[in-house]
Chain A
Amino acid sequence: MLASGAIKRPSTPDELISSQLSAALDRLDLSTRRVFAGKLQGERRSKTRGRSVEFEDFRPYVPGDDLRHVDWNVFARLDRLFIKIFQEEQDLALNIVLDASASMDAGNPSKLIFAQRVAMALGYLGLVNNNRVGAWIFGGRSDNTIRRLPPMRGRTNVQRLARFLLDETFPDAPSRPDREEQSFTRSLRTIAASRSTRGVLVLITDLFAPEGYENGLSLLSGGGSSSSQPAWDVTVIQTLSPGECDPQHELAMSGDRAVIGDLRLTDVETGRSAEITITQELIARYRARFDAFQRDAATFCTRRGIQHVVARSDSDVAVLLMDELRRMGVVA
């Protein structure tokens, strides 16, 4: 819940993803509930039939077909030319969108660092499995720019991804300039408009958008068959700090006396302050409100076909990927 303040931030790729984690991730691959058409031949079955080992069907030869695909055994037996149809394996487009707004740069442990590591792990997973991995980072900058890492493939780009995440995630100024209204929605609208291929989009955010997360997520999940734009398989990894889930628990754990009595709570995102007197009753009310918020978010995501995963910033990234995401089919 609290602003993270002076927390040591990762500065090298090794701090983003440990060797043990990367070794564990080597056995995994990205998964998607849908089968998308990739641009390049990859390791993923795509809707495009073509050159792969996965036989799908036969069809009569028509002039112009590649003679390499004629099934000569059938021609010998039946004396008719049939073309073998294979399901072509294509690469998967993985789009990682990282919410680096001020609200993410809070909590103990830092939600943003946690999110950074999740992004790195997912990106690593994508890259080592020869998928196209692109990344967006929005928020946290005085000029409200959205930083983009163009899609790339191959293990060789792991360092590039890591450097992008390290360089572009954190705020560029110590003061919190990111106080523009509607930043969340506007950023997601920009990202949604720029999609050119189908693929998987993983949004790592806390969903604490002053204007609400609904519009932004609707834009991301839109498109598909009813739209001219290709549809994304969207997964939201909602990152929360322990204090946000349970303020009293955080107090008991940390011994911090800050959230006590009469406080002026300042929203780091908007700079607005709320003056409250914290009592047991108020904390109970907060908990009820928080539960309702989470419930609403899960319902909203389900309705929009978005996978919603809640990850506490004090949890293990490896457990998240190999347990949570695997169970949800994001990782296979």
Chain B
Amino acid sequence: MTFATPILAAIAAAIAIPTLIILYFLKLRRRDVEVSSTLLWKKAVQDLQANAPFQKLRNNILLMLQLLALIIALVAIAQPEFRHRGQSEARRIILIDRSASMSATDGDAPIAGSDSAAVSTPSSDAASSSAPPVADPEKKGKSRLDAAKEAAIKLVESLHEPSLFDDTAEEAMVIAFDLNASVIKSFTANKADLKSAIESIQPSDAPTRLQRAFDLARAYSGAKKFEDQVKDTDESGKPAGFIPAPPAAAIHIFSDGRIPDADKIQTVEGQDRVVYHSVGAAAAPNVGITGLRAERAFDNPGRVNIFVGLQSTDTAERSVDLELLIDGDVVAARSTRVRAATQPTGVDTAPATDGEAVKAKLRPGLGGLVFGLDRAEGGAATVRITTSGTDALSNDNVAFVTIPPAKRLAVVLVTNGNFFVKTALEGLNLSKLDVRTPDEFQKLLDDGQTTQYDVFVFDRVLPNVKINALASGAPAATVPGSPAAPAAPGAPGAPAKNPASPVATRGPGLPPGRSLVLGAVPSPPLGVTDLGEGQGTVIVDFARDHPAMRLSSIDKINISKSRKIAIAPNTPVKPLARDSFGPAVLEIADATTMAIVIPWDVADSDWPFEPGWVLFLAGSVYYLSEAQSGVASEGVRVGETLSTRLPPGAKDVRISTPGGETVALEAAPDGSVSFGPIFDRGLYSVRWKGQATPIDVTSGDSATRRIAANLLDPQESDVGAVGTLVMAREDVQSQRQDADLTRKLWPWLLLGALSVVMLEWYVYNRKVAL
């Protein structure tokens, strides 16, 4: 038991107790009684006083009761707290956020969640110093991760250890999370182990996702009850009910609260107990690169545009200097201004609660810059912020991007004649556009000569290919009339060279490679089933962010004859657009094929008359060609697994990390390699011996592909710590101490004091004193 205000209680006791006793001596409560003579009484009292100086106080139950009531009230003033050791607290799971934003150097800042820290109203000339508790990153104080580790160690130190009278010990486990989550230390009561495990957590450059960590924690927390526990029966055969599960562990999250998926995490009432410990300052000015992309122009592949997206959480407009480095050499330096963070409109600037404070958080100011340069060859570009100034987070000041070599695509159009498509493709800056009839293409395909084309465009036709249900990755869907064939031998990525294979059937399908299919439906093994012609319709929804669909204006078109399509679940098919009957545009990606499919005839719509049609064609062709590498030029995000597909036959694959480490990789049969999850941003180089794709750099017989790993997360760059973790079912307030663990005793004490006073009154009236 601890006391919150022991000094206050001691002072009050020093005043009140003597006062009560003095009042008793002063006899304020005496009643007047007239007697014939006090002579004998005085003598009797003198007799008693001669025996004991405190005779008057002795055996006076009223005084004793009043003293008791007073002492209880005084103890209540001291606010004793009893640390409640509920079962749920016997085990704790410590979740420590090690994401990029936890590297912000405002760990010393007051905890977020106080009202003043939640919102700072920006002013036009606001200097950053005028904002309320603003961390000063120039001081390079301890990082948020360090602060979180310190807080977690304090929590570990507060764990109950076995004592003489109580041999139960509190256990804890440690999980570190960013995009992924890993158990650093399993449940143990050994504080030294726990502390060293916490100390060993290193910061990463990855963004934050709580879901995996939460799932991991929940798996260990013992909150779930399993069905077999219910089915158990006792000796008489009756159900025994639940076997008592081990006490559910409380989940302690140490984070700055920049968790985008926190509001998707469902907590179960009565089982999940989440305690949030916030670190960092609510207002932390930070400028970071949140977007980076290198693109070559359609019409001039030798021209590279590097788009840089910037974000600032400063309440004042910031001037930012940027440097562009290609392969380590500075090739350009530009300056731009990033707008000040603004108050979201329609939100009260004086939030009443922390929950509203979260909503009222400043919206970061955005800025952007485009570096344009003429460069035909590929390269690795680095963009970095060189401006000095208050900046809470340094991880997001550098970003990397690979520039693909200028390459003009070779495209084959397989058609019986289509003016719209041919004209549109001719408008693209392609190195080669061949127009073939289906028979001609079938012959090329059968001869294995289609590798000269980067992208196939099928107009209302599909070649006959070997249909292999298993190779397609589709479930047990079968072609009517043709039994499902077992897996074909040989490399799946290679063109089918043995059409007469007794185990394979042939039918209209997608050849290995990149295809844009217009007005045809591939065979069912891919997971797509043609249900026949549909009625006229319009597009109701489409993937606006997809590179192929971005500028397509497909939502504006009318379709006179649609096609009803069904997609089997768990297939590598995803719809890019939907009309009122179902999927209208599909993307199919399995081990050997990559295709964008429009099942209906474009000529039966007014799409060809829209500019978006040409843009869709161009976007699709370039998307498909780039997708050959498996990694878009944006690269991968830190925390994810780096995976790319190398040309078939790649050997001796090695990957070099930004830190200089080289790791040998084993390529899968389809050429894909995986590495990671990766924790460091920078440029990763995959080197192999064998064929190279157009985006790779070749030297001799070896090829190199560079892949950029970036943070590029607006959530992480918006480093203001959050005082309240908004989860799906509850808002968890940040707290320094686990207040719920302690039970305040003073209300009970006051109640006890009241009871004693009432007892005293009763005794007084029942004259128990005599």
**Chain B contacts for A276, CB-based, 8 A:** 41, 44-45
Q: Quick one: closest B residue to A280, CB to CB?
A: B770
User: B56: nearest residue on chain A (CB-CB)?
Assistant: A277
- B47 proximity list for chain A (CB < 8 A): 285, 288-289
Chain A: CB-nearest residue to B767: A260
- Interface residues of chain B: helix, strand, loop or mixed (majority): mixed
Query: Chain A, 271-315, contact with B by CB distance < 8 Å: what is the 0/1 string?
Result: 011111111111101101110010000000000000000000000
CB distance from A102 to the nearest CB of B (A): 8
Tell whether, in the assembled complex, residue B60 and residue A258 are in contact, meaning their CB atoms are under 8 Å apart.
no
Q: Once the chains bind, are B41 and A265 in contact (CB under 8 Å)?
A: yes
Is A1 located at the chain interface by the 8 A CB criterion?
A: yes
A120 at the interface (CB under 8 A from B): no
Contact (A260, B40) CB under 8 Å given A106-B35, A276-B45, A282-B48? no
Residues of chain A lying within 8 A (CB to CB) of residue B764: 261
Q: Assess whether B164 is interfacial by the CB under 8 Å rule.
A: no
Q: How far is the CA of A267 from the CA of B41 in the complex (A)?
A: 10
- A-contacting 9-mer, from B23-31, B471-479, B542-550, B745-753: B23-31
Q: A277-B60, A285-B48 are in contact. Are A264 and B40 (CB under 8 A)?
A: no
Provide the bound-state CA to CA distance between A265 and B35, in Å: 6
Give every chain A residue within 8 A of B39 (Cβ-Cβ): 208, 210, 267
Cβ of B40 and Cβ of A263 under 8 Å apart?
no
Interface size class of B (residues with CB under 8 A): 20 to 34
- Cβ of A241 under 8 Å from chain B: yes
Q: A278-B770, A289-B40, A289-B44 are in contact. Are A268 and B60 (CB under 8 A)?
A: no
| Interchain CB contact (< 8 A) of A266 among B32, B56, B769 | B32
Q: Chain A contact residues: over half helix, strand or loop, or mixed? A: mixed
Instruction: Assess A274 versus B30: contact at CB under 8 Å? Given A260-B769, A261-B764.
Output: no
Is there contact, CB below 8 Å, between A267 and B769? no
A107 within 8 A of B: yes
| Distance from B549 Cβ to chain A, minimum over Cβ atoms (Å) | 94
A324 part of interface (Cβ distance < 8 Å): no
Cα A289 to Cα B62 with chains together (Å): 27
A-side contacts of B769, CB under 8 Å: 260-261, 279
Q: Are B43 and A263 in contact (CB under 8 A)?
A: no
Q: List 7 A-B contacts (CB under 8 A).
A: A210-B37, A241-B36, A262-B27, A263-B32, A279-B769, A282-B45, A289-B43
Residues on B with C-beta less than 8 A from A251 are: 770
Contact A266 B45 (CB under 8 A): no
A91 interface residue, CB < 8 Å from B? no
- Whether, in the assembled complex, B740 has its beta carbon less than 8 Å from a beta carbon of chain A, the answer is no
B163 at the interface (CB under 8 A from A): no
Name the B residues within 8 Å of A267 (CB-CB): 34-39
Q: Let me know if B42 is at the binding interface, CB within 8 A.
A: yes
0/1 interface trace, chain A 207-231, chain B, CB 8 Å (1 if under) = 0101000000000000000000000
Q: Is the CB of B35 within 8 A of A268?
A: yes
B33 at the interface (CB under 8 A from A): yes
B62 / chain A contacts, CB cutoff of 8 Å: 261
Bound-state CA distance A137–B95 (Å) is: 101
- CB within 8 Å of B: which residues of A? 1-3, 102-104, 106-107, 111, 206, 208, 210, 241, 244, 248, 251, 257-269, 272-283, 285-286, 288-290, 293
Which residues of B are interface residues toward A (Cβ below 8 A)? Answer: 27, 29-45, 47-48, 56, 58-60, 62, 764, 767, 769-770
Question: CA A290 – CA B60 in complex, angstroms?
Answer: 24
Which residue in chain B gives the minimum CB-CB distance to A286?
A: B44
Q: Which residues of A contact B31 (CB under 8 A)?
A: 258, 261-264
Q: Which 6 A-B pairs have the closest CB atoms?
A: A285-B44, A208-B37, A3-B34, A106-B36, A103-B36, A286-B44
Contact A264 B30 (CB under 8 A): yes
Q: Given A208-B37, A266-B34, A279-B58, 9 more contacts at CB 8 Å?
A: A103-B36, A208-B39, A210-B39, A262-B30, A263-B30, A263-B32, A265-B41, A266-B38, A272-B38
Residues of A within 8 A of B38 (CB): 265-267, 272-274
Is B33 in contact with A264, judged by CB distance below 8 angstroms? yes
Q: Select which of A241, A279, A290 is within 8 A of B770 by beta carbon.
A: A279
What are the residues of chain B within 8 A of A274 when measuring CB–CB?
A: 38, 41-42, 45
* CB closest residue in chain B, given A258: B33
For A260, give its contact among B41, B44, B770 (CB under 8 Å).
B770
Determine if B27 and A264 form an interchain contact, defined as CB atoms under 8 angstroms apart: yes
A244 vs B40: C-alpha distance when bound (angstroms):
9
Q: What residues of chain A lie closer than 8 Å to B34, measured between beta carbons? A: 2-3, 106, 265-268
Q: Find the A residue at minimum CB distance from B61.
A: A261
Closest residue of B by beta carbon distance from A284:
B44
Which residues of A sit under 8 angstroms from B770, Cβ to Cβ?
A: 248, 251, 260-261, 278-280, 283
A-side contacts of B44, CB under 8 Å: 276, 282, 285-286, 288-289
CB distance from B145 to the nearest CB of A (A): 68
Closest to A281 in B: B48
Shortest distance from the beta carbon of A227 to any chain B beta carbon, whole Å: 31
Checking A3, A111, A262, A290 against B29 with a beta-carbon cut-off of 8 angstroms, the contacting residue is A262
Indicate if the CB atoms of A293 and B40 lie closer than 8 Å.
yes
User: Are the CB atoms of B41 and A279 closer together than 8 Å?
Assistant: no
Q: Known interface pairs A262-B27, A264-B30, A279-B59. Does A286 touch B37 (Cβ–Cβ under 8 Å)?
A: no
Cα distance A263–B35 when bound, in Å?
A: 11
- Residues on A with C-beta less than 8 A from B35 are 1-3, 106, 265-268
CA separation between A251 and B769, bound complex, in Å?
14
Bound state CA distance, A104 and B34, in angstroms? 12
Min distance, Cβ B582 to any Cβ of chain A, angstroms: 94
Question: Which of A269, A276, A290 has the most chain B CB within a 10 Å cutoff?
Answer: A276
Q: A276-B45, A280-B770 are in contact. Are A263 and B37 (CB under 8 A)?
A: no
Q: Which of A104, A274, A277 has the most CB of B within 10 A?
A: A277
Name the distance in Å between A127's Cβ and chain B's nearest Cβ: 31
Name the A residues within 8 Å of B29 (CB-CB).
262
**In the complex, A265 Cα to B39 Cα: how many Å?**
10
Of the candidates B40, B43, B45, B767, which one forms a contact with A261 in the assembled complex, judged by CB atoms under 8 Å apart?
Answer: B767
**Within the complex, what minimum Cβ distance (angstroms) separates A100 from chain B?**
13
Q: Report B-chain residues with C-beta under 8 Å of the C-beta of A279.
A: 58-60, 769-770
CA distance A102 to B36 in the complex (A): 7
Nearest A residue (CB) for B51: A281
